[in-house]
Amino acid sequence: MRSCSIQRLPAILAFVATGSLLSSCSKEWETFRHDGLRTGHQPNRSALSDPSRVDTLHVAWQWQLPPVGANQRRGFRSSPVVDDGRVYIGGGDGRLYAFNAATGALLWQYPPPGQQPLTSLFNCNPSSYGIASSPTVASIGSTKAVIFGAPDRSVGTGLGEGRLFALNAATGGVIWKSPVLAQVTGTTWGSTTELHQQIGYSAPLVFDDKIYIGVADHCDNPIQQGRVKAVDLQTGGLIAGFDFVGASTRGGGVWTYPTTDLSSVYTTTGNISSGNPGGEPPVNNALAMVRLDRDTGDLRWKHQPVPFELDADPDWASGITTVLSRCGTLMTSTMKDGWTYAVRPEPAAGASPSVAWQFPATGFPFTPGDGTVHGDTRFLRAGAAWGSTFITTAGGLNTTTNLTPNYPRLHAFDVCATNQLNRVRWIKDVPHTTGGAYSLGPPTVTRGIVYVGTNQGWLVLISDPSVHAPDGYRCVHPDVSAALCGFAGLPLVADPHILAEVQLAGSIQTEPVLAKGRVFVATDSGWLYMLEP
Amino acid sequence: MAHDKILSLPVQMFLLTALMPWSISGCQYFERAAALDRPIWEFDTGGHDPLPAPSVEAAHSSYEPQTPYSEFGEGALMRSVAQTVQDGQAIEIRDLLVGPNKKTEELRLPGTVVFTVLSGSGMARIASDSDEHGRIIELNQGTSGVFAPGQSFSISNSSDLPLDIRLRSFATQ
């Protein structure tokens, strides 16, 4: 074994080097969802993965965004990232902040005080006020950089067109600014002659010396032509040879982050029919999971379960989690209508994708008259991958009959299970939510302990039953009591144990970041917290 | 062996020692598996093995559904979703759930019943004056039909998935 390792040393070294791009085993949390695979998983052991220690989790420091005007304060929709002892986060006030991770001391902010913040004049929801894009840390030459998307009123039309920024991670100095990637040529609601594009929530993916970013719109007023764009990591220059459009006209907005499996770039796309009253356009990549050529953006395949005719705005907004499972690599995601899919990366091109499973397994593509509804429901949080387990806010077995009570509920799926009834590993109704849309932020996980924020401001820690015994068992169908589960021919599944609950201030719509034994989480009321056991 | 020409043995040993903490620090994940050309799950941090099935005596958790189904005769679960009275007609919307590989007994609801299959598949046997065995219809997602007032029916689900049927009944009061 030892001699084998010696022979493979160059290969290991190569992976250490390339690992810095994707950092799927990093102890830090250098990008949204931890790594370029978007696992949302911290694989390294720490106090945060020790069930006997996490019940002492407490706030070590906290910091609040300054007010943007009299009696007005923006919150955080960007999630923090952590690298080399520093925390970086974009604020709804239009500034990117850097802190000492241990003490919370503010190190720098960009733009500096006194300079115009990165805000848009097209305001409609939390994605459009300031910086909603979670940053990414990467090396540009020998310099560590923080890269993020934001509106910028100092460029183009002056209305807050979207571009990428790369800042020196140590000083906050500008390394480069990309050209405008999301155009805003007016602020007239509903105008079909103006462009209302935005980067919004899309978090940059650094992969293969490029940065990929999604472009969507401002509150569907009206929907724009969705895109994925790429810029050069070293210079910030637009890579002209790369382009992906969600539709040939309007539609297919990319509201989420791009993902990779180390081969291609993947993402999910938004609605289309409201922007095409005349009918389906010739190119329709909307409401789809797509695999793209990483050099050109050419479509390799698309998984499009909801056809144009059934589009009632079920944007596919949660993004894709790459699950490196015991049954191979699977690209997993929950659509806004509540259905969850796992798709195999192969074939690489030229054919329909191979869908491993759908949950619930009603069949797809959906067809007019099949009784299903695909509307603007709010299953739009990124999921997390731990081993062969995919943890997500999803519709359950009651998706077609009673969908919305699933908002405060996490499903953990065994992605390799052979049928949908034993696919459900556990189900948890997370406490301390209002029960409605946006009840939960995106969950993260470290070695079986799930961290999730609620819209009542609680950070809740849930233990996979393999880490701590569950509180008991419930029916796999959320609307069937455990007592009647067997009568219905359905199995019981674990109802996992809650290890800790910590109350914070403000709704948590961002991901709990797990880095080197510390939790960093931000809230809608503008608080950034660091907690540790 | 070609690799030996790239790095001398002492250098390799030094690097191996330097990398050892990385390799055992919990970073038993993607890079390591890929570097060693081994399946990722061999380097797992958990989460790969299915949980053991709960025993028959497994304790139930405190979870209770907000809109639970109730037993509605052999093989069937039912719940009322909404009900109202309009122009002397009692209108009620119900969900009928037939579990995997379950068959219901003869069911009967008041008034005219319009049904739509919301998910799953199976067969319905509808009582018929002209056929003592009843009329058989196949049920698939999206299938709709009508049960006449007082008409009995039974449902069988031969699949491994739940069969969900929405029933809208209209009964004169």
Give the bridge partners for B125, in sequence order: B136, B154
Show the beta-strand stretches assigned E in A225-285. Answer: 227-232, 244-245, 259-260, 265-268
Greater model confidence, A282 or B131: A282
| Residue B43 structure tokens | 């380097």
Q: Name which of B6, B9, B29 is nearest A43 (Cβ-Cβ).
A: B29
pLDDT category at B4 given cuts 50, 70, 90 is very low
Are A117 and A67 contacting, i.e. CB atoms less than 8 angstroms apart? Answer: no
How far apart, in Å, are the Cα atoms of A168 and each of A26, A96, A138, A440? Answer: 20, 12, 10, 33
pLDDT at residue A14 greater than cutoff 50 = no
Helix pair A9-22, B9-24: axis angle to 10 deg: 40
Q: Model confidence over A348-376: pLDDT tens digits?
A: 777 789 999 999 999 999 999 998 999 99
Closest by CA to A316, choosing from A383, A369, A368, is A383
pLDDT value of position B26: 39
Q: Model confidence over A261-312: pLDDT tens digits?
A: 999 999 999 999 999 999 999 999 999 999 999 999 999 999 999 999 999 9
pLDDT value of position B34: 57
In angstroms, the CA A378 to CA A135 distance is 24
Number of Cβ atoms within 10 Å of the Cβ of A70: 5
CB contact under 8 A, A24 and B31: yes
Residue A100: HSE in the Cβ half-sphere, 13 Å Cα cutoff: 8
Q: Model confidence over A117-157: pLDDT tens digits?
A: 999 999 988 888 899 999 999 999 999 999 999 999 999 99
User: Min CA distance, A84 vs chain B (Å)?
Assistant: 16
DSSP 3-state of B117: strand
Residues constituting chain A = 533
pLDDT value of position A127: 87
Q: Name which of A6, A388, A400 is nearest B164 (Cβ-Cβ).
A: A400
pLDDT at residue A65 greater than cutoff 90 = yes
Q: Give the mean pLDDT of A234-255.
A: 98
| Residue A282 structure tokens | 């010739």
pLDDT at residue A106 greater than cutoff 60 = yes
Q: Give the mean pLDDT of A404-431.
A: 96
Q: What residues of B are in contact with residue A477 (Cβ under 8 Å)? A: 97, 162
**Model's pTM, two decimal places?**
0.92
Closest by CA to A425, choosing from A454, A461, A466, is A466
Q: Model confidence over B84-95: pLDDT tens digits?
A: 999 999 999 999
CB contact under 8 A, B6 and A470: no
**Which one of B29, B79, B95, B101 would you mutate to disrupt binding with A, by most A Cβ within 10 Å of its Cβ?**
B29
Are B42 and A35 contacting, i.e. CB atoms less than 8 angstroms apart? Answer: no
Q: Model confidence over A180-210: pLDDT tens digits?
A: 999 999 999 999 999 999 999 999 999 989 9
DSSP 3-state of A22: helix
pLDDT value of position B132: 76
User: Min CA distance, A490 vs chain B (Å)?
Assistant: 7
pLDDT at residue A21 greater than cutoff 70 = no
Q: What residues of A are in contact with residue B101 (Cβ under 8 Å)? A: 489
DSSP code of residue A503? E
pLDDT value of position B20: 41
Q: What is the DSSP track for A86-151?
A: EEEEE-TTS-EEEEETTT--EEEEESPTTSPPS--S--SSTTSSS--SPPEEEEETTEEEEEEEEE
User: Min CA distance, A368 vs chain B (Å)?
Assistant: 9
Number of Cβ atoms within 10 Å of the Cβ of A335: 27
Q: Name which of B1, B33, B41 is nearest A387 (Cβ-Cβ).
A: B41
Are A341 and A303 contacting, i.e. CB atoms less than 8 angstroms apart? Answer: yes
pLDDT value of position A75: 96
In angstroms, the CA B23 to CA B35 distance is 11
User: Min CA distance, B61 vs chain A (Å)?
Assistant: 4
pLDDT value of position A462: 98
Are A438 and A507 contacting, i.e. CB atoms less than 8 angstroms apart? Answer: yes
Q: Name which of A362, A429, A448 is nearest B47 (Cβ-Cβ).
A: A448
pLDDT value of position A176: 98
Cα angle value B87/B92/B98 (rounded, 5°): 160
pLDDT value of position A45: 92
Any idea where the domains of chain B sit in the sequence?
A: 7-55, 70-172
Strands A409-414 and A424-429: antiparallel
**Which one of B7, B48, B62 would you mutate to disrupt binding with A, by most A Cβ within 10 Å of its Cβ?**
B48
Q: What percent of chain A lies above the pLDDT cut of 90?
A: 90
- Helix (H) / strand (E) containing A389: strand A389-393
pLDDT category at A419 given cuts 50, 70, 90 is confident
Q: Model confidence over A78-92: pLDDT tens digits?
A: 999 999 999 999 999
CB contact under 8 A, A326 and B41: yes
- Helix (H) / strand (E) containing B19: helix B9-24
Strands B112-119 and B122-126: unpaired
Start-to-end CA distance of chain B, whole Å, equals 90
Q: Give the mean pLDDT of A440-458.
A: 98
Tell me the average pLDDT of chain A.
Answer: 94
pLDDT category at A24 given cuts 50, 70, 90 is low
Q: What residues of A are in contact with residue B48 (Cβ under 8 Å)? A: 325-326, 387-389
CB contact under 8 A, A490 and B99: yes
DSSP code of residue A191? -
pLDDT value of position B44: 63
CATH class of residue range B70-172: mainly beta
Are A206 and A21 contacting, i.e. CB atoms less than 8 angstroms apart? Answer: yes
Q: Name which of B45, B58, B64 is nearest A387 (Cβ-Cβ).
A: B45
Is A310 buried (19+), middle (13-18) or exposed (0-12) by CB count in 10 A? buried
Size of interface A-B (CB pairs under 8 A): 222
Q: Give the mean pLDDT of B15-28.
A: 42
pLDDT at residue B110 greater than cutoff 50 = yes
pLDDT value of position A7: 42
Strands A58-64 and B70-71: unpaired
Least confident of A48-52, B26-30, B120-124: B26-30
pLDDT at residue A11 greater than cutoff 50 = no
pLDDT at residue A70 greater than cutoff 90 = no
pLDDT value of position B13: 52
Here the ipTM equals 0.89
Q: What percent of chain A lies above the pLDDT cut of 70?
A: 95
